[in-house]
Amino acid sequence: MFDYSVLDRAIEKFGNEEKSLIAVLQEAQENYRYLPKEIFPYLAEKLNVSEAKIFGVATFYENFSLEQKGKYVIKVCDGTACHVRHSVPILEALRKELGLSEEKKTTDDLMFTVETVACLGACSSAPAITLNNEIYPTMTPESAVALVKSIIEKEGK
């Protein structure tokens, strides 16, 4: 049985109207780590918005994902400041280490997701990455790989 209580709480908090849609989807994304297909008909009824419209919103915004993300989400900043301080080799090193690519963003064991972000606003710490929203400054391909390895080791215990 799918647990809808997360949605109920979000609707309670933001109100059952169309303008709450993005905020409700954000709560759902944070709780489930993606937008499961079960939520669309449920929200359509509760918010009185068509499923197609909700799907349209969910696919429009970068932060929503229809596929499950990993337990650890690594975002490599590829904003201008990070780009000119060589962020791409960091991204490539992480993808290589975890067997990921531009198309395949999440590892099969749902442990890691590697994606890029346009700018974290941490330009003075360029190149920067985030691991579950915590900023790691002035990274190198080596330090990024070391970070991943330390997580794998911690999880392996």
Partner 1 sequence: MLKSKEELQALRSQVKEAFDAESKRIIVCAGAGCVSKGALKIYDKFAEIMKEKGVKFSLELQKEPHSDGVRLKESGCHGFCEIGPLVRIEPQGWLYVKVKVEDCEEIISETIIGGKCVDRLAYTQDGQIYREQKEIPFYKKQTRLILDNCDKIDATSIEEYLATGGYTALEKVLFDMDAESVINEISESGLRGRGGGGFPAGRKWSQVARQNNFPKYVVCNGDEGDPGAFMDRSVMEDDPHRLLEGMIIAGIACGANDGYIYVRAEYPKAVARLELAIKQATELGLLGDNILGSGFNFNMHINRGAGAFVCGEGSALTASIEGKRGMPRTKPPRTVEHGLFDKPTVLNNVETYANVSTIINNGSEWFKKIGTENSTGTKTFALTGNIQNAGLIEVPMGTTLREVIFDIGGGVRDGGEFKAVQIGGPSGGCLTEEHFDLPLDFDSLSKVGAIIGSGGLVVMDKKTCMVEVARFFMDFTQKESCGKCVPCREGTKRMLEILNRIVDGKGEDGDIELLKELGEAISKTALCGLGKTAAGPVLSTIKYFEDEYRAHIYDKKCPAGACQKLKTISIDPEICKGCSKCARNCPVGAIKGEIKKPFVIDQKLCIKCGACLSSCPFKAIKEN
Q: Stretches 36-44, 59-67, 93-101, 106-114: which one binds partner 1 (CB under 8 A)?
A: 59-67
Q: State yes or no: cis peptide before 127, omega within 30 of 0.
A: yes
Residue 66 as a binder of partner 1 (CB under 8 A): the answer is no
Of residues 8 and 155, the one with the C-beta less far from partner 1:
8
Q: Which amino acid is at 75?
A: K
* Closest CB to partner 1 among residues 69, 85: 85
Spatial separation of the C-alpha atoms in residues 27 and 21, rounded to whole Å: 10
Is 147 an interacting residue with respect to partner 1 (CB under 8 A)?
A: no
Asked if 135 and 122 count as a contact pair (C-beta separation under 8 A), the reply is yes
Interface map 95-124 toward partner 1 (x if CB under 8 A): ----------------------xxxxxxxx
- Please report how close the Cβ of residue 37 comes to partner 1 at its closest, in angstroms: 19
The residue within the footprint of partner 1, chosen from 46, 83, 97, 145 (CB under 8 A), is 83
Cβ neighbours of residue 22 under 8 Å, at least 6 residues apart? 57, 61
Tokens of 59: 């696919």
Confirm or reject binding of residue 44 to partner 1 (CB under 8 A). Answer: no
Alpha helices for the chain (secondary structure H): 5-14, 21-32, 39-47, 51-60, 80-84, 88-98, 141-156
The amino acid at 148: V
Binding of residue 69 to partner 1 (CB under 8 A): no
Residues that bind partner 1 (CB under 8 A): 17-23, 25-26, 49, 53, 56-57, 60-64, 78-81, 83-85, 117-126, 128, 133, 135-137
